[in-house]
Amino acid sequence: MLRIFIAAFVLLVSTAAHSGEVLDRMAATVNGHALLQSDVDDELRYEFFAAKRPLSEASSEDQKAALNRLVDQELLREQMHSKDFQPVADDEIAKAFETYKADYGATAWTAALTSYDETDADIRSHIETELNQLRLIDLRLRPTIQIDAQSIRDYYQQQLLPKLPPGQHLSLQEATPTIRELLIQQKMNEALESWLETLHSQAKIQHFIAGDQVK
Amino acid sequence: MLLTLSGLHEGDTLNRASLQKALRALYATGRYANLQAECDLSADGRASLTFASELNFFVGRVTVTNAPFPPGESQIVNTSKLQLGEPFTSEKLDHAMQNIQRLLQQNGYYKSSLTHAEREDPQTQQVAITFHIQPGSQAHVGEIQVEGNALYSAGQIGDIGHLHSEDDVTAQTASNAIERLRKRYQKKDRWLAQVEVAPTFQPNTNSVDYRFHIDAGPAVSIEVNGFHLSRSTIRRSIPVYEENALDDDLLTEGRRNLLTYMESRGYFEAKVTLHKETEQNTVRVIYDIDPGERHKVVKVDISGNKYFRDEDLRPSMQVQAKSILLTRGRYSDALLRSDVRDIENKYRANGFADVKVDTQVKDDYQGNNQIAVFLHINEGPQTLVGKFQITGNTTVSADSFPPLNTQPGQPFSDTNIAQDRDILLNYYFNQGFPTATFEATATPAADHRMDVVFHVTEGERVYIDQVLVSGREFTRPYVIDRELQMKSGDPLSQASLLDTQQKLYDLGIFSQVDTAVQDPDGVEPRKNVLVQVREAKRYTFNYGGGFEFQTGAGNAKQPLGGNGVSPLGSFDVSRLNFLGRNHTITFQSRVGRLQQRGLLSYEAPRWFDNPNLKLTFTAFFDHTLDVQTFTSQRLEGTVQAGQILNKFSSIDYRFNYRLVKATDIVSTLSKEQLPILSQPVRLGEPGFGYIRNRRDNDLETTRGSYLTVDAGVAASYFGSQADFSRILVQQATYHPFGKRNRELVFARSTRVGLETPFGATMISQPGQPLPPNIIPLPERFYMGGGNSHRGFGLNQAGPRDPASGFPIGGSALFLNSFELRLPPPTLPFVGTNMSFAIFHDMGNVFTDGNHMLTSLLRWHQAKGLCTQTPGTQIVDGQEAALCTYDYISHAIGLGVRYKTPVGPVRFDFGYNLNPTVFPGSICAQKDPTSGNCIVSNFTSTKQASPFNVYFSIGQTF
């Protein structure tokens, strides 16, 4: 962003029409917390960075999806204020960041940062947010999930066995931990949908339509 | 200030993060509904940064036009749930409309139309909302339909529920119908009846059909076996009857109540069980009582207590030895455990963390089934506070904190710390720290001490930006402004808001005063405070009726009057807030058999803008017959300045100009006196009245004192036709004694009055020729009645005319009253609302001060002077005309007081130990022209009745 100096500083209170370039504006509010257009842009850039998609392909649907993700993130962030939640430690974040960077590819990393106007700190911040959310979801939802033996058996017989390559053998006992975790993750995804619906219904959320200027 | 919050300054380098931070900070103030940052770039790379905003608005005045009653404007405004000062949003408005629409429908206005209009003020960011209602016609009751097992037809259900077609539907129609039906079912022992109703509006007929779904349920009978209890005891104990419902919780509570009742009768080992039996269409609820042996608690002994005395522990104990009210005492294991717990908690709250109470119960103590309960208290060491420190108070000095319970050397307890937490947080909230928090830590120290530290986190201090007053129409701005207890720049304090509200209400010119903080949840450090007033109706009308009852009133033909009831009516009109200045014009009138009075006054409080000064102008007409001798007419004007000296004392300075006249003077008074006595007299009198009130409660005084001094001088210099000074002093004291909460009160009142003529004015001596200038009859002292000497009828004390026997008042007065006010006993029906008093009144009215002084120790009237040969003429200065009334009359009596919401009403029965004796006479010769008696002959001595009864409101003194 071009660095500019603040030469004059005015707070307009009411209906004066103004024709300056809009640098940033409100995109939504969640329980009194403001989500700005720049936040939506950041989220969009990170998503495209992670997917290695060119930014030129970003559409208004992608913008909306990014804003909805930010709303969900804000609702989850409000849940992190409870005393039983411990945020992810710095070393864990650092380790995850290094892993992510290694997976991305060292040579592609620097160019991508420039291309998507991101920095290491920005990416690290996103990773921290994701890790905290995963921890919160695990803390809240995992204790509510029960997987019975019959479900594991059904999955083993109906899903796993048919997909095993010929000649490969995996017993139920060996497969049980993996199947259990898989089923837990599936149920947690369903539970997460339901939980987010509940949080949405209880929250005060206001969207500001893109293109509407403050008059 | 708002721009400072953004964190940006001119000359700064602008980047994304700082701009984001600025936008979020501005939004968090709560003042903006929307924000965007815009930039105009110049050629040299400098930029003008602009934050364009949409303002948030906050709820201001909410009014309703054309509101039907019921529900009325106030209820409609309340139901909108639009709170003063809170952010105004379209969602809130929609909810308000829905709520109001629902309320209107509940009140039968299904065809109402509701619209709204808002008026926004960008300066204050307040929005005034008005709801316009077209109520339409009220719906009426339509069809009644009944489903289920109701036992009654639809018509009968309608009759029981008072649902008649063409009745208007109101908010209570359905609920009252359900209530009546439930009661009807309960009379038939259908305690489990379920009654539901679904009203349905029929727009074509503007009526509401009621569909009842009823299940009468089985008949329920409640029986008590094993012990005979009266029906009234059962009904009192089992709350089913009181709550008109039957559920397991109530039945269980009934079991507990029955057990408590048995224990109170001495059956300390009683057991009560409950079971139900169901047969066909009947449910039987059966309480089985096994009373066990009957006991009596003869002794409850407490030992080992050093810190608390027995008197500090026993009153709150539930285990009690036998007494007059508890003939068997009270005991059970559960009660004893509860008492032990309470005693231990009491000790722990005073630092005795290791306290232990051991109990021993001995049966057959000193006799069969006699229980003695022994409690031994092992207090243990008392933990005291060692070092005490408060940290975190960076803005407020600890010296300004209110007194705290926790101090070095004081008992250490969690209870004290919890109370101190409330004290400190309350203090901080009122100093503008709404987010202050408190934590306490305690560390054991040597010698049974605890070192305590209070950690205070003050948070951000919030100040007042502006005080916005709304709702003022006629009232001058300064009238409101001078009552405000806060101003711009002050810390935001809830106490100041409440004080302001109270002071504005105290003016008496507002029917509603609301105070609130604008945008209370916003994070701005300076907030507007809203004061919204609703001016009261400026004209108020009061009317009333009543009666006076006492001896001495009623019959003007007899010297002693009679026992009389005098009806009384009143009508008052007040014009409040005259010219918007909080001045009041009042017209008051009283009309009764004994008194007709009219008063017009103009009151200007805060004279010279001083809250302690008040100026009053009064014009007054009075026509009173409460002295049998004459009717008093008085026309007067007064200007008075009142001054509040301090919390207890006030003084009034006044100038009074009046015309007084005695009319209808009894025709048997001597003909020479009539012209002098009946002449109207003009009096100009400056004076003052001083009051010092140190009573704890004006209506029900138990301690303190009360002093009034009223004095004035009527002199020709002030335009007066009679010259005399007058002073009346009353002093009362109140002393409680006896057990706390059951105190007796010994009250004493002494009243002394003296009039001293000077110049040409003289005092008339009874039975002597009248001097030409006298103190007018209506200006003299009179005494007797429910509010003075209760040994005399109304105004019957003191000197009397020898020819007629009627009282003529005096120039000196002495009255002393003693009253022993007993604590109210607990009685059936009236509870503790009735109390009794024993009184002794002594005193009299005297011709002048010298006669008063010489009579103070004289307890007997010189009755021998009041007689002469029957049939002989009564002549001034001779024989019976020399009857003297210079003695102290004593009366004793009993008073009954009943507490009402407006104060005690009082019956007093007085017995005069030495009632007045005076010459009885009969007119022997009348003036043929005027009809006045010119010759009175003595018949026999007459004596005032020793018995007197009075009915009044309020205490005697």
Set of chain A residues whose Cβ sits within 8 Å of the Cβ of B54: 214-215
ipTM: 0.85
Mean pLDDT value across residues B871-885: 85
pLDDT class for A13, splitting at 50, 70, 90? very low
Contact B431, B491 (CB under 8 A): yes
* CATH fold for the domain made of B384-457: Ubiquitin-like (UB roll) (3.10.20)
Query: Where do the domains of chain B lie?
Result: 2-55, 57-134, 140-215, 219-290, 296-378, 384-457, 463-535, 544-953
Q: Please give the average per-residue pLDDT across A68-81, as a whole number.
A: 93
Ranked by mean pLDDT, the top range of B310-314, B328-332, B365-369, B674-678 is B310-314
Q: Give the pLDDT confidence of B539-578 residue by residue, as tens digits.
A: 999 999 887 665 555 555 566 666 667 788 999 999 999 9
CA-CA distance, B109 to B136, in Å (whole number)?
7
Mean pLDDT of chain A: 86
pLDDT at position B844 over 80: yes
- CB-nearest partner of A7 from B16, B23, B46: B46
Q: Which residues of B touch A215 (CB under 8 A)?
A: 54
Question: What is d(CA B854, CA B833) in angstroms, rounded to the nearest whole number?
Answer: 44
Q: Is the Cβ pair A11, B14 closer than 8 Å?
A: no
Please say whether the beta carbons of B889 and B918 come within 8 A. no
Q: Determine the pLDDT at residue B184.
A: 93
CA nearest A2 in B: which residue? B15
Residue-level pLDDT at A37: 94
Q: Is the pLDDT assigned to residue B668 strictly greater than 60?
A: no
How sure is the predictor about B826, in pLDDT bands with cuts at 50, 70 and 90? confident
Closest CA relative to residue B664, chosen from B636, B694, B627: B627
What's the rounded Cα separation, in Å, for the pair B454 and A141? Answer: 39
Alpha helices in B296-434 (DSSP H): 310-313, 333-348, 414-429
Q: How far is B420 from chain A (nearest CA, A)?
A: 26
Question: Max alpha carbon distance in chain B (Å)?
Answer: 131
Residue B735 has pLDDT above 50, yes or no: yes
**pLDDT reading at B664 higher than 90:** no
Contacts of B35 in chain A (CB under 8 A): 25-26, 34, 214
Q: What is the pLDDT of residue B9?
A: 80
Distance CA B420, CA B456 (A): 12
Contact (CB<8Å) B38/A38: no
Task: Flag whether pLDDT at B11 surpasses 90.
Answer: no
In this predicted structure, the answer to whether residue B610 has a pLDDT above a threshold of 80 is: yes
Contacts of B45 in chain A (CB under 8 A): 4-5
| CATH architecture, range B463-535 | Roll (3.10)
SS3 of residue A96 by DSSP = helix
CA distances from B941 to B216, B789, B802, B880, B923 (A): 80, 23, 11, 9, 15
User: For B822, which DSSP code?
Assistant: P
Please, what sign has the CA dihedral across residues B731, B732, B735, B741? negative
Residues of A within 8 A of B30 (CB-CB) are 32
Q: Searching chain A, which residue's CA lies closest to the CA of residue B31? A: A13
Q: Cα(first)–Cα(last) distance of chain B, in Å?
A: 61
Q: Cα separation of B561 and B629, whole Å?
A: 10
Mean pLDDT of A42-65: 91
Q: What is the mean pLDDT of residues B173-197?
A: 91
* Separation of alpha carbons B648 and B646, rounded Å: 5
DSSP E strands: which ranges in B87-206? 87-88, 113-121, 126-134, 140-149, 194-202
- Return contacts of A79-83, CB within 8 angstroms, 24+ apart: A79/A136, A79/A140, A79/A199, A80/A132, A80/A136
Give the minimum alpha-carbon distance from B517 to chain A in angstroms, rounded to a whole number: 18
Q: A14 CB contacts (<8 Å, ≥6 apart)?
A: B55, B122
Average pLDDT over residues B326-333: 83
Residues of A in contact with B40 (CB under 8 A): 20-21
Residue B402, pLDDT above cutoff 90? yes
B505-541 as b/e: b if 16+ CB within 10 A:
eebebbeebbbbbbbbebebbebbbbbbbbbeeeeee
Contact A34 B34 (CB under 8 A): no
Q: Which residues of B touch A (CB under 8 A)?
A: 2-3, 8-16, 19-20, 23-24, 26-28, 30, 34-42, 45-55, 122, 521
pLDDT of amino acid B638? 96
Alpha-carbon span B262 to B254, nearest angstrom = 12
| Integer Cα distance of B813 and B598 in angstroms | 28
Please say if the pLDDT value at position B127 is more than 80: yes
Which residues in chain B have their CB less than 8 angstroms from residue A214's CB? 34-36, 52-54
Burial B375-411 (b: 16+ CB within 10 A, else e): bebebeebbbbbebebeebeebeeeebeebbbeeebb
CB contact under 8 A, A22 and B19: no
Residue A213 confidence (pLDDT): 47
Chain B closest CA to A37's CA: distance in Å? 9
pLDDT in tens, A115-167: 898 899 999 999 999 999 999 999 999 998 899 999 999 999 998 888 888 88
Strand order in the sheet with B356-362: B296-303, B370-378, B356-362
Q: Taking 80 as the threshold, does the pLDDT of residue B769 lie above it?
A: no
Integer Cα distance of B202 and B139 in angstroms: 9
- Ranges A52-56, B122-126, B828-832, B898-902: which has the least confidence: B828-832
Chain B residues in contact with A30 by the CB 8 A cut-off are none
Asked whether residue B704 carries a pLDDT value surpassing 90, the answer given is yes
- The residue ranges of every structural domain in chain A are 26-144+200-207
Q: Does residue B688 register a pLDDT over 90?
A: yes
Of B868, B923, B875, B884, the C-alpha closest to B800 is B884
3-class secondary structure, B91: helix
User: Following DSSP, what letter does each residue of B48-83 receive, concatenated?
Assistant: EEEEEEEE-EEEEEEEEES--TTT-HHHHHHHHT--
Q: How many CA atoms lie within 13 A of B61 on its CB side?
A: 20
pLDDT digits (tens, 9 = 90+) for B904-937: 899 999 999 999 999 888 888 888 887 777 788 8
Question: Averaged over B81-94, what is the pLDDT?
Answer: 93
CATH topology for B296-378? Ubiquitin-like (UB roll) (3.10.20)
What is the radius of gyration, based on Cα positions, of chain B? 39
Q: Which residues of A touch B14 (CB under 8 A)?
A: 3-6
Q: Is-contact B625 B594, C-beta < 8 A?
A: yes
- What ranges in chain A are assigned the alpha helix state H? 37-51, 60-79, 90-104, 106-115, 120-141, 149-155, 172-202
Give the CATH number of domain B57-134; options: 3.10.20.740, 3.10.20.310, 3.40.50.150, 3.40.50.300: 3.10.20.310
Q: Quote the longest CA-to-CA distance of chain A.
A: 77
Measured CA to CA in angstroms, residue B33 lies from A156, A208, A210, B89, B125 at distances of: 55, 10, 15, 9, 12
Which CATH number fits the domain B544-953, given the four candidates 3.30.413.10, 1.20.210.10, 3.40.1360.10, 2.40.160.50? 2.40.160.50
CA distances from B129 to B58, B100, B339, B513, B677 (A): 10, 13, 57, 17, 69
Identify the pLDDT of residue A8: 46
Cβ-based neighbour number of residue A83 at 10 Å: 5
Q: Which residue of B has its CA nearest to A28?
A: B34
Whether residue A10 and residue B37 make contact (CB cut-off 8 A), yes or no, is: no
Question: Is the model's pLDDT at B12 over the cut of 90?
Answer: no
| Total CB pairs under 8 A between chain A and B | 126
Of B26, B42, B47, the CB nearest to A6: B47
Q: Do the Cβ atoms of B14 and A3 come within 8 Å?
A: yes
Give the dihedral of Cα atoms B79, B80, B86, B88; nearest 10 deg.
Answer: 170
Confirm if B687 and B712 have CB atoms less than 8 A apart.
yes
- 3-state SS track over A135-196: HHHHHHHHHHCCCCHHHHHHHHHHHHHHHCCCCCCCCHHHHHHHHHHHHHHHHHHHHHHHHH
Q: Which of A13, A43, A111, A95 is nearest to B2 (CA)?
A: A13
The CA R_g of chain A, rounded to the nearest whole Å, is 22
What are the backbone dihedrals phi and psi of residue B735, each rounded to the nearest 5 degrees, phi first? -130, 120
Report the pLDDT value the prediction gives residue B567, as an integer from 0 to 100: 84
What is the average pLDDT across B841-862?
92
- What is B219-290's CATH number, 3.40.50.620, 3.40.50.360, 3.40.430.10, 3.10.20.310? 3.10.20.310
User: Could you give the CA distance from residue B801 to residue B814 in angstroms, rounded to a whole number?
Assistant: 20
The number of beta carbons lying within 10 Å of the beta carbon of residue B760 is: 12
Expressed in percent and rounded to 5, the helix, strand and coil fractions of chain B are 20, 45, 35
Is B38 close to A21, i.e. CB distance below 8 A? yes
CB neighbours (10 Å) of residue B93? 18
Quick one: what percent of chain A has pLDDT higher than 70?
Answer: 88
User: Do the beta carbons of residue B420 and residue B404 sit within 8 Å?
Assistant: yes
CA–CA separation, B828 and B826 (whole Å): 7
Omega of the bond leading into B680 within 30 degrees of 0 (cis): no
Q: How much of chain B exceeds pLDDT 70, in percent?
A: 94
What is the layout of strands, in order, in the sheet containing B113-121?
B87-88, B57-65, B126-134, B113-121
Q: Do residue B39 and residue A38 have CB atoms under 8 angstroms apart?
A: no
- pLDDT greater than 50 at residue A2: no
Question: Under DSSP, is residue B790 helix (H, G, I), strand (E, B) or coil?
Answer: coil
Banded model confidence at residue A1, pLDDT cuts 50, 70, 90: very low
B35:A38 CB<8 A: no
Least confident span in A8-17, A166-175, B224-233: A8-17
pLDDT digits (tens, 9 = 90+) for B380-390: 999 999 999 99
Q: What homologous superfamily does CATH list for B140-215? A: membrane protein fhac (3.10.20.310)
